[in-house]
Amino acid sequence: MSRIGSPGLALILVASALLSAPVLAQEGEQPPESSTTTTTVPPQPPPTTTVPGDSGGGGDAPVGEYLDPGAVGEYLQQLEGADAGSDLAMEYEYDPEAAKLVSEEQIEEARARLREAQDLKARLEAEVSRLEGSLSEMEESIEALGADLESSISAAADAQVLFENRVADAFIRGSDPGLTVYLEAEDAQEIASHQMLLEAVLDADEEALSDYEKTRSELNEDLLAMTEQYADAKNELGDAQRSLQAADQQVLERAFAVKVYEAGGQVAVNGFVFPVAGEVSFTDGWGAPRMSGTAYSHWHQGTDIMAPSGRPLVAAEGGVVRLSNSTLGGTGLWVEGRSGVEYYYAHLSAYAEGIEDGTVVEAGEVVGYVGETGNAQGPHLHFEIQKDGQPVNPYPVLKVAYETREQVLADLDS
């Protein structure tokens, strides 16, 4: 083997047999017909929607070296221009820093966005706390005003009864002990004196009644105003709580993005859902050579997620389903995400009920089931992510999503 010194080719590993392969087929594509292949590819069964049983199988995914996609593309272009009989064989020099696809600037930008979201969340938490305190004080004031109003109403009612009774007793029955002297008086001076006393008593009663009515009216107005302020404050609190909930979700999404970028991922879609339900195993097999020495030789452009046959597969993002069927990928499908990112699922045993071309799905909705159709060794999901029409390594986002899911489940159990 010979070493190529070009920096652009430093990350490439390929067997010399690649030179005889006219096309490098991807796992999700239909490979070319070839009479020289030494690999028997099983015939493709027709797609089915019958849900298979869970076989309980599984295992670790093949482990491959990480290869920079840009370098792979550059190498493939060189292969296309090479003579069929050339001795182009290479070994690679693995440089983790050179293979890192996300720059420190990008990571720092993601961290800065996370800090902004955290600051906003902190401000909203303080605002919600302030509004909750104000509402609590208003509730106490309303309760006190209500008690005062109730007392005032009771006092006004008593004053009204007292006033009416005095008048009735004075002018009809004369039963009030305080007015008996007036009614039994014998001379005019005594009568005038008691009349003045009666008028003073009645005036005092009437004034007291008026005061009670005025106080009741004022308390009623205060209570009404306070109730309106309370309703406004409660609406304001509701708005602040909804803003806080959105800010909290934004913090989670941006924290997820930071973790993905720090792990070397290029795609961090908000609301990304791990595509396989339950416990699984998977490793980073991105860029590993597959089916070397055959007409189907290709670079692995996805992650193999090992799970029992029949395990539900869910949409990683909301979007539109496009069905796929190929010799290598078997029964498969694409989810064209609303973000513009596309997701490829291969080797399915069946589609979920109701899944067909054009079906609109939401993130987390079941779209199919794990299988081993196509060129698969054991039940697993071959999962790819494409951004702007180009495949990107799905392992970082899968790893973070799986770990995050485990943390959520642990929190729910605690």
Domains in the chain: how many in total? 2
Distance CA 261, CA 266 (A): 6
- My answer on whether 219 and 304 are in the same domain is no
Query: Of 279, 382, 379, which is closest to residue 57 (Cα–Cα)?
Result: 379
- My answer on whether 272 and 408 are in the same domain is yes
Kind and range of the H or E element at 137?
A: helix 104-168
Rounded to two decimals, what is the model's pTM? 0.56
Domain termination residue (choose one: 262, 279, 303): 262
Query: Of 376, 364, 379, 370, which is closest to residue 351 (Cα–Cα)?
Result: 370
- My answer on whether 302 and 252 are in the same domain is no
Query: Of 375, 393, 370, which is closest to residue 53 (Cα–Cα)?
Result: 370
Distance CA 150, CA 144 (A): 10
Q: What is the CATH number of the domain that holds 204?
A: 1.10.287
As given in the structure block, the two tokens for residue 241 are 């709580």
Distance of CA 263 to the CA centre of its chain: 21
| 30-68 burial code (b ≥16 CB/10 A, e <16) | ebeebeebeeeeeebeebeeebbebbebbeebeebebbb
Q: What is the pLDDT of residue 280?
A: 94
Query: Of 341, 286, 349, 280, which is closest to residue 315 (Cα–Cα)?
Result: 341
- My answer on whether 94 and 156 are in the same domain is no
Distance CA 64, CA 290 (A): 10
C-alpha distance from residue 180 to each of 168, 170, 183, 199 (Å): 13, 8, 5, 14
pLDDT (tens, 9 = 90+) of the chain, 414 residues, equals 333 333 333 333 333 333 333 333 344 443 333 332 323 333 334 444 444 444 333 333 333 333 333 443 443 344 344 333 333 323 333 333 333 456 788 888 889 989 999 999 999 999 999 999 988 888 888 787 777 667 666 666 665 666 556 665 655 544 444 555 555 555 555 555 555 655 555 556 566 666 666 766 767 777 788 788 888 888 999 999 999 999 988 888 888 888 888 888 888 898 899 999 999 999 998 888 877 788 777 788 899 999 999 999 999 999 999 999 998 899 999 999 999 999 999 999 999 999 999 999 999 999 999 999 998 999 999 999 999 988 899 999 999 999 887 554 445 454
Domain that holds residue 18: 7-101+268-413
- My answer on whether 286 and 221 are in the same domain is no
- My answer on whether 195 and 217 are in the same domain is yes
- My answer on whether 142 and 278 are in the same domain is no
Inside any domain, residue 107: no
- My answer on whether 232 and 184 are in the same domain is yes
Question: Could you write out the three-class secondary structure of 374-410?
Answer: CCCCCCEEEEEEEECCEEECCHHHHHHHHHHHHHHHH
Q: What is the CATH number of the domain that holds 304?
A: 2.70.70.10
Distance CA 269, CA 390 (A): 16
Distance CA 262, CA 114 (A): 13
Distance CA 183, CA 106 (A): 102
| 219-231 burial code (b ≥16 CB/10 A, e <16) | beeebeebeeebe
Domain termination residue (choose one: 218, 240, 262): 262
